[in-house]
Structure 1
């Protein structure tokens, strides 16, 4: 399957990312940029976005980019630094670039931004299986 098409297929099969309202802005082999808007039901008891929201956006970008190389790829370790609090209505963009595919592991840092402002920094390790994405 064409690597550019894989993230669109993944999104169509992903009820959680769809519930979040994630949209694919740009996608090519080794790179995917996704975005979403924070809704009221995503807020915590302090009126800020739950930390899992920016984490999930970055994780989706990470997974989509990792799979553009044509092999099933799964995250095996991830972490995030929350830099700025987020509120309802914030529009977030996360971009993942995974260029090196020389071995089974891929390492990536994803910046989550609100406009030009860095709001979270996500780090991930992906494992590439031998299974190919098919049409």
Structure 2
């Protein structure tokens, strides 16, 4: 398999099969390609906090999952080394969030990815920056 887009899709499928958190929260992979991923999720009642808005941890988790699929799209296993998030606007039950991850830099074993989280109206909700670190192993067999 030499097509970078096909490799990214196959890596995403392999990761998603083992990613109980992403599946349990109802996230979907809307788009995937080398160095980028778009995931979405609908906020449910159990995701809200005492202010009746979405708990920031769930927004972070969506952004982190998009980051993970983007930085693992080259058939090289990678994990988060560091991540930060800035929350811009509140999120409510039944809002549909979309996290768009894009690669900023990938050199050696390190990568930097920005993730923008928006709601169903396209309004900015949060901005996330993740730093990845590649590790031993691949998602697909070398012959794939």
Answer whether TM exceeds 0.5 for this pair: yes
Query: Conserved in 2, the CA contact under 8 Å of 1:8 and 1:24?
Result: no
- Following superposition, the deviation at residue 27 of structure 1 comes to 0.8
- Following superposition, the deviation at residue 102 of structure 1 comes to 2.9
Query: Conserved in 2, the CA contact under 8 Å of 1:33 and 1:96?
Result: yes
What is the TM-score when the length of structure 2 is the normalising length? 0.88
Q: Deviations over 1:76-126 (max 9, x none)?
A: 101110110110000000011126433111011110001321100111100
Match 2:124 to one of 109, 118, 124:
118
Structure 1 unmatched runs, 5+: none
Q: Quote the residue 2:4 is aligned against.
A: none
What is the TM-score when the length of structure 1 is the normalising length? 0.94
Structure 2 unmatched runs, 5+: 2-6
The correspondence of residues 40-119 of structure 1 with structure 2, limited to 5 A, is 40-98=45-103, 100-114=105-119, 115-119=121-125
Match 1:34 to one of 15, 32, 39:
39
Distance 1:82 1:100 in 2: 23
